[in-house]
Structure 1
Amino acid sequence: MMLIDGPRQPPASGGRPKKLVIFLHGYGANGEDLIGLAGPWARELPDVQFVSPNAPESVPGAPGGYQWFPLTRLDPSETERGTKQAAPVLQSFIEGEMKRYGLGPSDVALVGFSQGTMMALHVGLRQEQPFAGILGFSGALAGREGLKGEIASKPPVMLIHGDQDQVLPLGFMFDACEGLVEAGHGAQWHISPGIPHGIGPDGMELGAHFLRKVLSGRYGQTTISGV
């Protein structure tokens, strides 16, 4: 099986990692794209090890760009097939990281952006032992139709999306929320005013707050609600 890796940032406390945040970047980016979030978040999450692997496939014609799966169009069957094919590589990476740091699923949060959000939701909801949480920016839910029969755990989920996103318009977030409800789960969601396909200051703040709560085990049952 293909191995993946990427940039890391150790706990700001200087001690051993007590929790793990895994960033999953979007199409055409690489691990460096999201590891920069670790700096500001580390102030609130001092015992967290951050890691941001490069996706397994390079993007043709885009030096330094990677993809979790090829994405020629936003076709539901294509994204479902792509997430399923990439899932074993990501699952293996996550298991390796937990072993590396001596942590369990309840110590791990997945943070995805765009295509990385698709991967975080796909793998995180099919994990039998639930992760601490899933935070998704500017993403979508792939494989909505099959999720009800495949969901294996219900970790807290938060979805954040800009209302000016022209790459994955805001409707994809609401579609994801509906899909989670159909599968017997839910999510918190937030709309970032004036933000295109990216992460705004409000998303940074809410994301840090969400991670702090889920990694401390102080997050309640997930329902559909906006914040």
Structure 2
Amino acid sequence: MLEGPRLNPLSGSKPEATVKLIHGYGSNGEDLISLAAMMQPWLPYAVFVAPNAPSLLPQMAAAHQWWPIETFSMAERAAGAAAAAPALDDFISVELKKAGLTSDRLLLVGFSQGTMMALHVGLRRPETVAGIVGISGMLVAPESLEADIRSRPPVLLIHGTQDDVVPFRSMELASSALAAVGRLLLRQVSAIV
């Protein structure tokens, strides 16, 4: 089972919503949980959880990955996301049950490889989540989305035009694929991110 840091609702009350912050390659939950403190004033009744990916990078202490990156090919990304998805999906289901919440009270926020996971899992869950925010990531296996999609939550994609890790074009490809399956989509373009 995945684990990671959490911030309970700023209100001090029982959670009315949950935000899962999904980190990128070479990062961990501690890196992303700091975003929760900035988001809490706008979501004071939400619990924030940032799970660590299941696999450690062998060469870096405390650096996690959802899957190893060796070739940067789309096939590798699709296989990696599919292999890691059950762990994240199970984690989400357990967290929702523990908090007594339904999927429509869940926001998935991913960064880079975490965006790939948020989109992969969030669009394939049988119950629609409240939304997906993808920052500097991409949609893996867009060609199979129409056959695989099970829910259609609102999606916000944020990407920088100067991103030298995940090309900006990735957002355009994801936008096209999501629009083709009738998904409500918002985009934010920035020179940085």
1:186 to partner: Cα distance: 4.2
Q: C-alpha distance in 2, partners of 1:190/1:73?
A: 28
Partner amino acid, structure 1, of 2:188? H
Q: Is the 8 A contact 1:6 1:31 kept in 2?
A: yes
Mapped pair 1:166 → 2:164 = yes
Task: Point out where structure 1 has 5 or more consecutive residues left out of the alignment.
Answer: 199-227
Which residue matches 1:115? 113
Q: C-alpha distance in 2, partners of 1:181/1:18?
A: 30
For 1:13-63, what per-residue CA distance to the aligned partner results, in whole angstroms no more than 9, with x for missing partners?
011100000010000000011100111110111001000000000012011
1:80 to partner: Cα distance: 0.5
Which residue matches 1:211? none
Q: C-alpha distance in 1, partners of 2:15/2:183?
A: 30
Which residue matches 2:7? 9
Q: C-alpha distance in 1, partners of 2:38/2:52?
A: 21
CA-based RMSD of the aligned residues comes to 0.9
Task: Point out where structure 2 has 5 or more consecutive residues left out of the alignment.
Answer: none
Q: For 1:37, what is the secondary structure of its paired residue? A: helix
Q: C-alpha distance in 2, partners of 1:74/1:127?
A: 26
Q: 2:76 aligns with which of 52, 75, 78?
A: 78
Which residue matches 1:218? none
TM-score, normalised relative to structure 1: 0.83
Q: Is the 8 A contact 1:177 1:186 kept in 2?
A: no
Aligned residues: 193
Which residue matches 1:19? 17
For 1:133-172, what per-residue CA distance to the aligned partner results, in whole angstroms no more than 9, with x for missing partners?
0000000000111111010110000000111100001111
Mapped pair 1:91 → 2:89 = yes
1:72 to partner: Cα distance: 1.6
Percent identity of the aligned residues?
46
TM-score, normalised relative to structure 2: 0.98
Q: Is the 8 A contact 2:153 2:184 kept in 1?
A: no
Listed as ranges, the matches of 1:134-153 within 5 Å are 134-153=132-151
Q: 2:187 aligns with which of 178, 186, 189?
A: 189
